Chain A
Amino acid sequence: MSTAYLDHAATTPLRADVVAAMQPYLTARFGNPSSAHRWGQDASAALENARARLASAIGARPSEVRFVRGGTESDNLAIIGGARALARDGATPVTLTSAIEHSAVLEPAEWLAARGEAELRVIPVTPDGTLDLDRVSSELDARPSLVSVMWANNETGMLLPIDRVVSWARTTRTVVHTDASQALGKVPIDLGTVEVDLLTATGHKLGGPRGCGVLFVRDGIEVEPLIFGGGQERSLRPGTEDVAGAVGLAEAIHLAVRDLDASGARMAALRDRLEARLIDSIPGLRVNCGDAPRAPHVLSLGLPAIRNGADFLTALDLEGVAASGGSACHTGAAAASHVISALYGSDDSYATVRLSVGRDTSEDEVDRGAAAVAEVWGRMKSA
């Protein structure tokens, strides 16, 4: 069976040059960066070089880069650690999130609210990418606040207006976090010009290693640690550093940003090709957030007349095509995602299928994917 992997937003393979960069630190150059001897010095130098490489790719200073274990950890640190830092003088901070954040942002925010550590406000978003910030401004009342709005939504590819969030936050003195896991390497990100305070990114969405993430913490912004036991990463994320992971993450980010102009255009062309074919073959197809600015790699479909989206994905897989529902994180759950519900209402009648391309996706794969989606839709649509 010829297969087509169209789920690069879930994860995408390690780049060969990233593997090559990591290789020495998995074997011969194994030192602990905290050790004073030459093995330690070698590892420490590798770690700091990686930090600098990563920083320069996103327009940050090396001192602002904290290596963490993946995107979820980075988000949790930003939300919980960021809110707790704001609560130091005794006030209960307000956390604000968009309604379509990843659960790695929403759940810690809800957890804080349930514990009474912060108040939670959810900012509505419309399918064309409008954030209703005015609605929440009046409620802040000069209290310390942290807003988290993702750069690109993982389920639909929608780009959120981070510039606007930043300028709004200036007037309300709100700390800004953005989860850029799906955006980095897909759209230009320069933290020298877009002044967010905290930014999350992860390796495995852009050809880097899994379990390796970063939290950018702008100099002067405080974040409380969540775990303790050593001074690593300026005490924000203690534990012996994953040198190979950090090297791989930095290399992957460096390469993705370096290649962005060409690869972004290429992915957008593939996405558009996929979209055009499906619009032609599926009457009544809705392209989720099709009128919003979008990251180039994600195409989210609202399929008409499909009763069970999970079965649709199963049928696609049996045809050799990998896709996902909303996000890839909710195995086995048939309920519509919180993202689609927030954008289109909880009674939305469309089934969601997310197709996403990567740097190695071919036109042929896209064509086979489009044909399979159309074929399965024709077979499974209810009369």
Chain B
Amino acid sequence: MSRVLVAMSGGVDSSVAAALLVDAGHEVVGVTMKTFCYSDIPAHGKTCCGLDGIMDAKRVASTLGISHYVFDVEEDFTRDVIDDFVSEYARGRTPNPCVRCNSNTKFRDLLVRGEALGCDRIATGHYVRVEHGPEETALRRGHDDGKDQSYFLWGLPPEMLRRLLFPVGELTKTEVRERARALELATADKPESQEICFVPTGDYRDLLRKRLGPVHPALEPGVIVRSDGEVVGEHAGFAGFTVGQRRGLGGGFSEPMFVLEVRPDTKEVVVGTRDELFAAEVTVRELNWLTTPPSTGDDVRVQLRYRAPAVSATVVDVGTELTLTLGDAQPAITPGQSAVVFDGDRVLGGGRIA
């Protein structure tokens, strides 16, 4: 059996992924990526910040009898993920940092560094499956419909797929927890992490203020308008808004209002009724294909946000951009979010919504 590097976040999923690999007879090396420092004290910037995830992963690794190391990727992560996150919001878009991290930072770094450590394969605790065929490797949805994370992995370089393992993709979350409890892993009953890892408070606007500085157009007051230009209110900064959002728009409307669009140039937030939120066409940029791209006229399924089902669509045009018409108009198609193209449960590729 080969030496496998498993990325352990300190959560239950990657803990069980590591356990399953040990069971399968692999020599397993655990790694936790230190993506940023939680510490607020600059004087301690060079020391380990005692991130809980690192400590939990170490405990699990010890239970499993495997080695565990910390990869410090703070510099790359800040440049590739946090800076992108901030600049997307500053442009009135709604980024998906986990996609960005998987596409640009995490897997590339693990593969390159893993290779130097004699690890020919990389595993994570994502709920997806890979199917190794003679020609190519297919990335498929995880078995647990409620946990499937294929939405986050469309950006992987296709040549990487054959070296990846996703041991929990065949399991349900319930099975993963049971497994962790049976092995008495320290993370067995650890709550799900919902927040973005570098926004532990859950309020990304704190981060924007910190990184954009106190004076930035995205954080300055502007007006809330209807799509016909009628001014209906004011807001404290367009970076606090995302398409489809209801909160923060003030009251006094005869029916519920939703954000339709954010216009960074004029600092306007455009609102409208739920009906106005729907669109039947989507344009996708920064494409990445895990297999041969679909052709014009092909029928595919497309998933437009993490917790949304894939819907039927037809390829209108595909090149450096992908244009799809949707079988049924969809609400709140949000610039910056991922559009992931499926054939059944297989991920064909994806991109960022324009």
Q: B117 and A308: CB pair below 8 A? A: no
Q: B116 and A330: CB pair below 8 A? A: no
Q: B72 and A334: CB pair below 8 A? A: yes
Interface residues of B in 29-55 (CB under 8 A from A): 29, 34, 43, 46-48, 54
Q: B117 and A311: CB pair below 8 A? A: yes
Number of A-B contacts (CB under 8 A): 45
Q: A318 and B70: CB pair below 8 A? A: no
Inside 8 A of A335's CB, which chain B residues have their CB?
46
Q: B113 and A107: CB pair below 8 A? A: no
Determine if A317 is an interface residue (Cβ-Cβ < 8 Å).
yes
Chain B residue, CB-CB nearest to A313: B69
Given A314-B69, A318-B29, A318-B67; A330-B47 close (CB under 8 Å)? yes
Q: A110 and B116: CB pair below 8 A? A: no
Q: B70 and A332: CB pair below 8 A? A: yes
Inside 8 A of A107's CB, which chain B residues have their CB?
43
Interface SS majority for chain B:
mixed
* Chain A 291-319 near chain B by CB (<8 Å), digits 1 or 0: 00000000000000000101100110110
Inside 8 A of B70's CB, which chain A residues have their CB?
310, 331-332
Given A308-B113, A311-B113, A379-B116; A333-B48 close (CB under 8 Å)? yes
Q: How far is the CB of B326 from chain A (nearest CB, A)?
A: 46
Inside 8 A of B116's CB, which chain A residues have their CB?
311, 315, 379-380
Q: How far is the CB of A323 from chain B (nearest CB, A)?
A: 13
Inside 8 A of A338's CB, which chain B residues have their CB?
46
Chain B residue, CB-CB nearest to A307: B116
Determine if B309 is an interface residue (Cβ-Cβ < 8 Å).
no
Q: How far is the CB of B50 from chain A (nearest CB, A)?
A: 9
Which interface residue of B48, B69, B113 has the most chain A CB atoms within 10 A?
B69
Q: How far is the CB of A362 from chain B (nearest CB, A)?
A: 24
C-alpha gap A329/B47 in the complex (Å):
8
* Chain B 61-88 near chain A by CB (<8 Å), digits 1 or 0: 0000001011110100000000000000
Determine if B248 is an interface residue (Cβ-Cβ < 8 Å).
no
C-alpha gap A314/B117 in the complex (Å):
7
Chain A residue, CB-CB nearest to B113: A311
Q: Which of A310, A317, A331 contacts B67 (CB 8 A)?
A: A317
Inside 8 A of A114's CB, which chain B residues have their CB?
43
Inside 8 A of A314's CB, which chain B residues have their CB?
69, 117
C-alpha gap A315/B118 in the complex (Å):
8
Q: How far is the CB of A116 from chain B (nearest CB, A)?
A: 16
Q: How far is the CB of A73 from chain B (nearest CB, A)?
A: 17
Which interface residue of B34, B47, B67 has the most chain A CB atoms within 10 A?
B47
* Chain B 8-39 near chain A by CB (<8 Å), digits 1 or 0: 00000000000000000000010000100000
Q: Which of A310, A311, A318, A333 contacts B46 (CB 8 A)?
A: A333
Interface residues of A in 316-361 (CB under 8 A from B): 317-318, 329-335, 338
Inside 8 A of A333's CB, which chain B residues have their CB?
46-48, 72
C-alpha gap A107/B45 in the complex (Å):
12
Interface residues of A in 115-173 (CB under 8 A from B): none
Interface residues of B in 71-128 (CB under 8 A from A): 71-72, 74, 113, 116-118
Q: A330 and B48: CB pair below 8 A? A: yes
Inside 8 A of A380's CB, which chain B residues have their CB?
116
Chain B residue, CB-CB nearest to A110: B43
Chain B residue, CB-CB nearest to A315: B117
C-alpha gap A338/B47 in the complex (Å):
12
Chain B residue, CB-CB nearest to A107: B43
Q: B48 and A310: CB pair below 8 A? A: no
Q: Which of B47, B71, B113, B117 contacts A318 (CB 8 A)?
A: B117
Chain A residue, CB-CB nearest to B70: A332
C-alpha gap A333/B50 in the complex (Å):
12
Q: How far is the CB of B122 from chain A (nearest CB, A)?
A: 15
A to B CB contacts below 8 Å, 20 in the list: A107-B43, A110-B43, A114-B43, A310-B69, A311-B113, A314-B117, A315-B116, A315-B117, A317-B69, A318-B29, A318-B118, A330-B46, A330-B47, A330-B48, A331-B70, A332-B72, A333-B48, A333-B72, A334-B72, A335-B46
Given A308-B113, A310-B69, A332-B48, 15 more pairs with CB closer than 8 A = A310-B70, A310-B71, A310-B72, A311-B116, A315-B117, A317-B67, A318-B118, A329-B47, A330-B48, A331-B70, A332-B72, A333-B72, A334-B72, A334-B74, A380-B116
